[in-house]
Chain A
Amino acid sequence: MGVTALKICVCIKQVPDSWAEKKLTAADNTLDRAAADRVVNELDEYAVEEALKIVEAGEGEVTILSVGPVEAADSIRKAISMGAHAGIHIVDDAIHGSDAVATSLVISEALKNRDFDLIIFGSESTDARMSVVPAMVAARLNLPQMTFAKKVEVSAGALTIQRQTETGYDEVKSSLPAVVSVVEKINEPRYPSFKNIMAAKKAPLETLSLADLGVAASSVGQANAWSAVSAFADRPAKPAGTKVVDDGNGAAQLEEFLVTAKFI
């Protein structure tokens, strides 16, 4: 590859464990973060892995960036323990309840003067599930948007990805720097080694507020979001269906159900 000293930033989000039951808080219709364990968004682990693979193939440094509450620092260190070098944590009470528009603003303002060669995202946060933050950051920083990559190749000053599509994939080229998001088929995220877990405890973590970034509190947070949740309810429980144990008759019973329901 012959690429030297790449500077890569990986944006990760701390989310409630996707295996746990997620809930909204009645007080302000935002995610009840206390109701479940907080973890690194699983889909962002693929982004961290890809960044590490790229620098390991040549030379470089991986920085983890996250916008989130005080506890998000744990997730940044967790990501660093996979083998990254440093972290940036943007934390400010005013950010609570921000929409994607505001989150992308905060991320972009934090990144704009840092000349990273690559900024890598996961394809989706498992709680918000919007898949829009990477595209918005690319737009705000005016960088090539190289999203939904299932393969990434970096060569001197250029980037090629396989962009996953509905029917297969597109090969796409751009220059560097660029914004990339990766899908979960791209790699197998590693487990942190003991050595890296210890190193992550001491890794440099830069903690920044909105004031440090020069972002006005009036452009973020729930009160300034451009969309709002007005109500929520549990999906009505489905009445219990029929369950039969196959004793040689299972297919016949299933056939009968499909006929009654007019599927056949």
Chain B
Amino acid sequence: MSDVLVLIEQTKGEVKKVSLELLAMAAKVGSPVAVVLGPGADSTSGLLGEHGAKKVYVDSNEIYVNQIVVPTVTALTSVINELKPVAVLVPSSADSKEVAGRLALTCNSGVITDASDISADLSVTQNIFGGATIVTSKVTTGTPIITVRPNSIAPVTGGATAEVIALAVTHESGSTSVTNRVAVAKSGRPDLSEAAIVVSGGRGVASEDGFKNLIEPLADLLGAAVGASRAATDAGWYPHQFQVGQTGKTVSPQLYLASGISGAIQHRAGMQTSKTVVVVNKDPEAPIFDLADFGVVGDLNEVLPDLTARIKARK
């Protein structure tokens, strides 16, 4: 079967769930081959094999985290030239989309971003305009390079031991250097773009304390990630890393619970494909209600503590 290359995202050996989803997507169109780069890469092949990778190309070189994007492009280009895969899948993260863009140039190939599905003939489904329009498209030149959104497919287990191949790549001297890494947003909660449930707050939450006292406790009871509208991150009530929407994260969870969010088009662009949407908003005319499977017209200061207490009582 033809090889389908998958770029694995990992940090110090911890593989992101979206990478395992991409292996499942790759298996729909061919034989998944993983490329895993950076410190920790050498400890991931067991997990990747278990999730369907037939081969794993590994390079633990520090260069992949010490320079922006370019070394990853160089490594992928060398594997593509050697293996001639039928397609290359990368996650739809900011970094990997840039990898995809540059790869299109080095491989003379078309690129499609933000796919939600890929069919056997390599035609791609995308939700555009904030999810309002569904488009089918196809790369017509070169090796299709496709970025795939998180939560588009469930990971598949039960694979075998993958063949591990050490990558030997010659890198040119780079033009960027990462001198410091700062993590501002650390929590024990699931990753926002990968979470099955997202509990989100907006301007109606009214303060940093509102997030601490109303949103976070509910999220923790549900095992959910916390999200925020731009109004809330701009006000400094919650870090930007948790912004959902056009200029924040795109999420597609099983359940999206929006409180005190009006549902501006730029917010909807980041959550419109959620499977179930629940809304708490005091304005019955708020556009977010158009997306709601269940909506409560009410004051979140009353509804959320009551709901949290009720869920707690059930446990």
- Is there an interface contact between A170 and B180, defined as CB atoms closer than 8 Å? yes
Given A133-B101, A226-B104; A231-B136 close (CB under 8 Å): yes
Comparing B158-166, B201-209, B297-305, the segment that makes contact with chain A is: B297-305
- Interface on chain B toward A: helix, strand, loop, or mixed SS? mixed
**A-chain residues with CB within 8 Å of residue B197 when the two chains form the complex:** 263
**A-chain residues with CB within 8 Å of residue B179 when the two chains form the complex:** 171-173
**A-chain residues with CB within 8 Å of residue B304 when the two chains form the complex:** 251
Taken residue by residue from 166 to 188, chain A's Cβ proximity to chain B (1 for < 8 Å, 0 otherwise) reads as 11111111110010000111000
- Is there an interface contact between B137 and A144, defined as CB atoms closer than 8 Å? no
- Is there an interface contact between A254 and B291, defined as CB atoms closer than 8 Å? no
Taken residue by residue from 165 to 206, chain B's Cβ proximity to chain A (1 for < 8 Å, 0 otherwise) reads as 000000000011111111111100001010001000000000
Comparing B19-27, B30-38, B49-57, B110-118, the segment that makes contact with chain A is: B110-118
**A-chain residues with CB within 8 Å of residue B134 when the two chains form the complex:** 232-235
Given A226-B141, A228-B137, A244-B296; A136-B183 close (CB under 8 Å): no
**A-chain residues with CB within 8 Å of residue B69 when the two chains form the complex:** 135, 145, 147
- Is there an interface contact between B184 and A258, defined as CB atoms closer than 8 Å? no
Check: A9 CB closer than 8 A to any chain B CB: no
**B-chain residues with CB within 8 Å of residue A23 when the two chains form the complex:** 133
**A-chain residues with CB within 8 Å of residue B294 when the two chains form the complex:** 241-244, 254, 257
A99 → chain B closest CB, angstroms: 7
- In the assembled complex, the Cα of A29 lies from the Cα of B128 at a distance in Å of 13
Taken residue by residue from 139 to 172, chain B's Cβ proximity to chain A (1 for < 8 Å, 0 otherwise) reads as 1111010000000000000000000000000000
- Is there an interface contact between A225 and B140, defined as CB atoms closer than 8 Å? yes
Check: B94 CB closer than 8 A to any chain A CB: yes
**A-chain residues with CB within 8 Å of residue B186 when the two chains form the complex:** 167
- Is there an interface contact between B110 and A254, defined as CB atoms closer than 8 Å? no
A186 → chain B closest CB, angstroms: 11
Nearest residue in B to A46 (C-beta to C-beta)?
B247
- Is there an interface contact between B135 and A140, defined as CB atoms closer than 8 Å? no
- Is there an interface contact between A147 and B97, defined as CB atoms closer than 8 Å? no
- In the assembled complex, the Cα of A238 lies from the Cα of B222 at a distance in Å of 25
- Is there an interface contact between B176 and A171, defined as CB atoms closer than 8 Å? no
Check: B109 CB closer than 8 A to any chain A CB: yes
Nearest residue in B to A242 (C-beta to C-beta)?
B294
Nearest residue in A to B94 (C-beta to C-beta)?
A148
- Is there an interface contact between A18 and B265, defined as CB atoms closer than 8 Å? yes
- Interface on chain A toward B: helix, strand, loop, or mixed SS? mixed
- In the assembled complex, the Cα of A254 lies from the Cα of B297 at a distance in Å of 11
Taken residue by residue from 151 to 166, chain A's Cβ proximity to chain B (1 for < 8 Å, 0 otherwise) reads as 0000000000011111
Check: A216 CB closer than 8 A to any chain B CB: no
Check: B289 CB closer than 8 A to any chain A CB: yes
B72 → chain A closest CB, angstroms: 11
- In the assembled complex, the Cα of A252 lies from the Cα of B294 at a distance in Å of 12
Check: B42 CB closer than 8 A to any chain A CB: no
Q: Which of A24, A183, A251 contacts B307 (CB 8 A)?
A: A251
A118 → chain B closest CB, angstroms: 14
- Is there an interface contact between A250 and B247, defined as CB atoms closer than 8 Å? no
Q: Which 6 A-B pairs have the closest CB atoms?
A: A246-B298, A226-B110, A132-B101, A251-B306, A227-B110, A226-B141
Instruction: A124-B246, A144-B175, A244-B296 given; name 11 further pairs at CB < 8 Å.
Output: A43-B247, A99-B110, A123-B247, A166-B94, A171-B180, A185-B240, A230-B138, A238-B290, A242-B294, A250-B297, A251-B306
List 15 A-B pairs, Cβ < 8 Å: A18-B246, A101-B111, A123-B247, A135-B102, A145-B98, A164-B94, A166-B193, A225-B140, A226-B139, A230-B136, A235-B132, A241-B292, A251-B307, A253-B296, A254-B307
Instruction: Give B residues with C-beta under 8 Å from A.
Output: 68-70, 73, 93-95, 97-98, 100-102, 104-106, 109-114, 123, 127-129, 131-142, 144, 175-186, 191, 193, 197, 222, 240-241, 246-247, 254-255, 265-266, 272, 276-278, 280, 284, 289-299, 302-304, 306-307, 310-311, 314
Instruction: Give A residues with C-beta under 8 Å from B.
Output: 18-19, 21-24, 29, 43, 99-101, 104, 123-124, 126, 129-136, 139-140, 143-148, 162-175, 178, 183-185, 225-235, 238, 241-246, 250-255, 257-258, 261, 263-264
